[in-house]
Structure 1
Amino acid sequence: MKVFFDHQTFSIQKFGGISRYNVELISGVNKGINDTAYLPILLSDNVYLNKLNQYNVNLLPKNNFYKKAQIVYKINKLYSVAHLVKKGFDLFHPTYYDPYFLPYLKGKPFVLTIHDMIHERFVEQFPELDNKNSAIEKKQVLAEKADRIITVSNSTKLDVVNMLGVKPEKVHVIYSAGSFNPVWTTTKGRFVEEPYLLFVGRRERYKNFEGLLNAIRHILEKYKIKLVCAGGGEFTAQENKIIDSFRLSQLVNQISINDKLLSILYNQAIAFIFPSLYEGFGIPVLEAFASDCPCIVSNQSSLPEVGGDAVVYINPFSRESIVDAVEKIICSSQLRQDLIEKGRVQLAKFSWDKTVKETVDLYRTLL
């Protein structure tokens, strides 16, 4: 069986959960004896492609140039089309929602992974998608035409069925997994001297960063702890304005990260806090488990599927719920240790080997 993965997410993302997911699938399929996965691509600065060292990808220069993103996308798209025309594959797996490939399949099956329904659930927060050529419209087209759909949680499956009108039997839940190596956490000394809570990744919109700040600002002052924000880019002017208005400029920091540093930050934190209003899966929870970090996690969408009984849940819409959970974690070393041990058990339920096997089994039903 030969599976064709296309360029899309690798033309768009330098790093991120979707491109990591696809790299893990490609790598895992290629470990099989009778199966091959390939990714025709010419230009990308995606950091995970190093794992696919059988590919000769010309990495882009670090400096930006005029219309760089558009040029890269068009070149890779043409290269994908050239390989589609050759028809040297058994099954197609697009890595995002551009339906450009549909005229070229000529009867070949394709499987679509829908990682979340964030745009549809929070459409009022994404006004740029209010047109017929948006990701929402493209996703709808592909969901209707796909031979099978994979979702990474039962929560996302329910959203796909209810919001896209897809028959439930067409949608298969195959959980993602984490990619952290626990060895990374073994380091001497502390990266951040003060005790801290850890917030990871993007902070805008549904991530509920402002709601978190409003809830815990007095806790940070009371217990003399920091909130460290790992990744997600530097604070925007608006975020700095909010932080200053809460008088937290000395207690809230942003740090640029790589995977190894992030694992250390998880490991040395009092707890990881994830107050998101919606997630398609929740890989940061598994990253925290792998790094022996206690977790305070939103009770919304897919997160209870990932967290199981190994986290303290919060209602992200309730300031009181957030305050209560954070104080419990801060004040009880026994609770933190219990959560670490439960996290190790919960983590074992998710693996890329399992994800790849279930995905390959689904592919075979179409051939």
Structure 2
Amino acid sequence: MPSRFSQSVSIGFDGQIFRRQRRGGISRYFRELALNLRAAGAEVLMAEERQGCWPWSGHLPWRRADVVHATFYGGGPYRLQSHQRLVSSLFDMTPERHPEHFFLPALRSPHANKPGWLEVSDLIISISAASADDLAFFQPTLRTPLRVIHLATAIDRLVPQPVEALEGRRFWLMVGKRHAYKNGLTLLRALSLLHGGDGDRGRRDQPLLVCAGGGPWRAEERRWIHGQGLEDAVLQLAATDPVLAWLYRHAEAVLVPSLAEGFSLPLIEALACDTPVVASDLEVHREVGQSFATLLPALNARVWSELLAAAGQGTLPRPSHRLGGERYARLRRHFAPERLVQDHLEAYGSTTDRPSPRIRGRRG
């Protein structure tokens, strides 16, 4: 679809998310989106990370933009200039669906501000239809226009950096955080079932579970690993992007056992590297994984153990085999950065079609 975006329209990203996280999925999304938009010829006015999130706190370049894409939900929506449009992102509704996993300090969670931001925006960009459906359940009276724009990856274009300790070693891969709703403990439970009664030789014949990123083992993980004697069956390591590219390309399968997700980037990163995927049976995994991912009940460790036992025999087909060449190539194009940029340009352009934006004051 041709973009209605005019090159004379400027796009601004505020600094909210960079105040909250220097490294993280959302901050990375906005950095890469800004870079790719500029490469496509768009004018992008972006807050420096050190400038924080306060729109009234100085000479911030994004305040002059025609379209302001807010990067989080800090405080109340700020007053816009009369010509500006406000775009907000919806990454997930996990705090609303699973509040038991979000233990907050005395300060109010920014997610509590989410309804106010979304209500006064000119456009909501949701990273999945599943998240948009959740939003419709929790805010049924919301009338803000919404577009679904799937995430993208270019991990298959990176030069991989080998992990010497894993060269020649079979392994499964889990990427990112493991605690709470990420449900990494189910994989550890599955491993204990898989290795039970195998003996030392059986353990050496099974792939290693590699957990990349997500920080060192937490206390409960260490207790489980030690209690089940799994020290030689698991490995946790930090991973740069080139290391991740190597891990994805050499893993026997990528494992995603989450109880909730807004999108699940490891699915499309595995797709790009043509690596088998086993994921929990969630609405969003059905949406993103389509028919290339094997879906399992999130909390059924025995089913995961049985699947891993079969996967250890090399029976999991690669996405290209499951989809066929033409459909695999089409999905690869869909989850590529070029499509992501064009979808955003089209979305930004749609906000400038309305002649009279609402003028809104800051909510405190």
Counterpart for residue 64 of structure 2: 88
**Alignment correspondent of 1:9:** 17
- Indicate yes or no: 2:167 matched with 1:195: no
The CA RMSD over aligned residues, in Å, is: 2.8
Secondary structure of the structure 2 residue equivalent to 1:181? helix
Answer with 81-90 or 215-224: which moved more.
81-90
Partner Cα separation in structure 2 for residue 111 and residue 79 of structure 1:
15
Counterpart in the other structure of 1:19: 27
Quote the offset at 1:363 in angstroms: 1.3
Verify the 8 A CA contact 2:75 2:110 in the aligned structure 1.
Answer: no
Query: What are the equivalent positions in structure 2 for 1:271-286 lying under 5 Å apart?
Result: 271-286=253-268
Q: How does 1:116-131 map to 2 (within 5 A)?
A: 116-128=92-104
Which residue of the partner structure matches residue 41 of structure 1?
48
Query: Which of 78, 84, 97 does residue 108 from structure 1 map onto?
Result: 84
SS in 1 for 2:85: coil
Determine which structure has greater relative contact order: mean sequence separation of CA pairs < 8 Å that are 6+ residues apart, divided by chain length: 2
**Equivalent residue for 1:347, pick from 321, 332, 338:** 332
Which of 293, 299, 310 in structure 2 is aligned with 1:311?
A: 293
Question: How far off is 1:212 after superposition?
Answer: 1.7
Cα distance change of structure 1 residues 23 and 283 upon mapping to structure 2, 3 Å threshold: same
On the 8 A contact 1:40/1:83 being kept in 2, the answer is no
In structure 2, the gaps of 5 or more residues are: 1-8, 353-364
Q: Distance in 1 between matches of 2:317 and 2:264?
A: 22
Q: Look up the match of 1:69.
A: none
Does the CA-based 8 Å contact 2:183-2:257 persist in structure 1?
A: yes
Q: Rate the CA distance shift 1:81–1:110 in 2: closer, same or farther, 3 A.
A: farther
Secondary structure of the structure 2 residue equivalent to 1:172: strand
User: How far apart, CA to CA, are the structure 2 residues paired with 1:231 and 1:364?
Assistant: 37
5+ residue gaps in structure 1? 44-74
SS at match of 2:254: strand
Instruction: State the TM-score, normalized to the length of structure 2.
Output: 0.82
Paired residues of 1:28 and 1:356 also in contact (CA < 8 A): yes
* Higher mean C-alpha deviation, range 240-249 or range 9-18: 9-18
Q: Any conservation in 2 of the 1:147–1:170 contact (CA below 8 Å)?
A: yes
1:190 shift after superposition: 6.7
**Residue in structure 1 matched with residue 210 of structure 2 by the alignment:** 228
Distance in 2 (alpha carbons) for counterparts of 1:274 and 1:86: 37
Question: 1:43-66: CA deviations, max 9, x gaps?
Answer: 2xxxxxxxxxxxxxxxxxxxxxxx
Residues 1:293 and 1:87: Cα distance change in structure 2 (over 3 Å): closer
Q: Secondary structure at the match of 1:111?
A: strand
Which of 331, 338, 345 aligns to 2:321? It is 338
Aligned AA (1:245) = G
Secondary structure of the residue aligned to 2:125 is strand
Instruction: Determine the C-alpha separation between the residues in 1 that align with 2:25 and 2:117.
Output: 20
Distance 1:288 1:168, change over 3 A: farther
Task: Check the 8 A contact 2:257/2:280 in 1, yes or no.
Answer: yes
Kept in 2, the 8 Å contact 1:99–1:142? The answer is no
Change (3 A) 1:177 1:197: same
Residues 299 and 135 (structure 1 numbering): CA distance in 2 closer, same or farther, change over 3 Å? same
How far apart are residue 245 of structure 1 and its match?
A: 1.7
Amino acid at match of 2:22: K
Which position in structure 2 is the counterpart of 1:288?
Answer: 270
Letter in structure 2 aligned against 1:211:
T
Q: Which has the higher helix share?
A: 1
User: Structure 1-normalised TM-score?
Assistant: 0.82
CA contact (8 A) 1:296 1:326 kept: no
